[in-house]
């Protein structure tokens, strides 16, 4: 496991990857919408997030400024095999989008690149006008687009290169990828969204999501298979 000083430096590398790779590759969209992005780290904090412009500006976060923050405690968790395995559960794109063949084994380098893409996807989704999307289908589609464009491959390579200068091996171990359960039309399923449990019936199994008709509802949900639980 990396020491505290190295973890801080690695968090700074993630911030650099966000500013020097992701923001540059998507500069046209950022300029077109006149957005500003600040990428920072917070030592001793777990909080890692995208923060949209706040109505009440502060000296630290002026009005109309987007912030992406990487907490060093969050970064540190990517160097503990057991904790990384838990972290994997929170990244449905790892199990849904077929991105792993291009990345290879799920090592710390790969998982950290996913973290960068995850937060940047929140930023881009907000810029597209979806201000309350959370981890919904529009966010997932944006994330998939970044993976397909090889943004994550470039970020992972950057992280490896910069970490090697600190004599830190980001590929020292890998964790297995949880396999999503297989579902079929007509299955009764359960899932959680917005702190509420939902029940429904599978209508269609898509390549990257499951179409579900929630009980007593006139709408359809498109749920990642990793978030569904079959009810026997």
Give one DSSP letter per residue of 40-72, joined into a string. Answer: EEETT----EEEPPPSS--SSS-TTEEEEEEEH
CATH 1.10.10 is the classification of domain 188-230: no
- CA dist 156 and 109 (Å) reads 6
- CA dist 127 and 129 (Å) reads 5
Burial 161-190 (b: 16+ CB within 10 A, else e): ebbeeeebebeeebbeeeeeeebeeebebe
Q: How far is CA 227 from CA 94, 95, 203, 205, 212, in A?
A: 12, 11, 16, 14, 12
pLDDT digit string (tens) for the chain, length 232 residues: 568 889 999 999 999 999 999 999 999 999 998 899 999 999 999 999 999 988 765 666 555 799 999 999 999 999 888 888 777 666 656 655 555 678 888 899 999 999 999 999 999 999 999 988 887 778 888 998 999 899 999 999 999 999 999 899 999 888 776 555 578 888 899 988 777 889 999 998 887 788 999 998 888 888 888 788 888 7
At 181 the pLDDT is 57
Q: Which of 228, 190, 225 is nearest to 93 (CA)?
A: 225
Q: Is the distance from CB of 66 to CB of 123 less than 8 angstroms?
A: yes
- CA dist 203 and 186 (Å) reads 6
Give the list of residues 6+ apart from residue 43 with CB closer than 8 angstroms, or none: 8, 11, 72
Q: Where are the domains of the chain?
A: 4-164, 188-230
- Per-residue pLDDT tens digits for 50-103: 999 887 656 665 557 999 999 999 999 998 888 887 776 666 566 555 556 788
């Amino acid at each position: 496991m990396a020491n505290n000083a190295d973890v801080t430096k690695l968090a700074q590398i993630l911030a650099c990857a966000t500013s020097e790779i992701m923001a540059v590759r998507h500069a046209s969209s950022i300029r077109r919408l006149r957005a500003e992005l600040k990428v920072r780290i917070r030592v001793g904090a777990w909080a890692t997030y995208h923060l949209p412009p706040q109505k009440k500006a502060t000296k630290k976060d002026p009005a109309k400024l987007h912030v992406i923050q990487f907490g060093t405690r969050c970064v540190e968790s990517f160097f503990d095999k057991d904790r990384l395995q838990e972290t994997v559960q929170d990244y449905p794109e790892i199990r849904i989008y077929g991105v792993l063949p291009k990345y290879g084994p799920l090592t710390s380098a790969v998982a950290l690149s996913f973290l960068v893409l995850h937060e940047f996807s929140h930023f881009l989704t907000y810029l597209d006008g979806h201000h309350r999307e959370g981890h919904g289908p529009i966010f997932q589609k944006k994330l998939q687009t970044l993976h397909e464009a090889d943004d994550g491959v470039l970020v992972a390579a950057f992280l490896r290169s910069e970490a090697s200068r600190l004599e830190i091996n980001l590929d020292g171990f890998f964790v297995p990828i949880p396999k999503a359960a297989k579902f079929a039309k007509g299955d009764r399923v359960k899932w959680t969204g917005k702190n509420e449990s939902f029940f429904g019936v599978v209508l269609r199994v898509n390549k990257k999501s499951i179409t579900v008709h929630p009980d007593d509802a006139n709408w359809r949900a498109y749920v990642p298979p990793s978030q569904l639980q079959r009810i026997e």
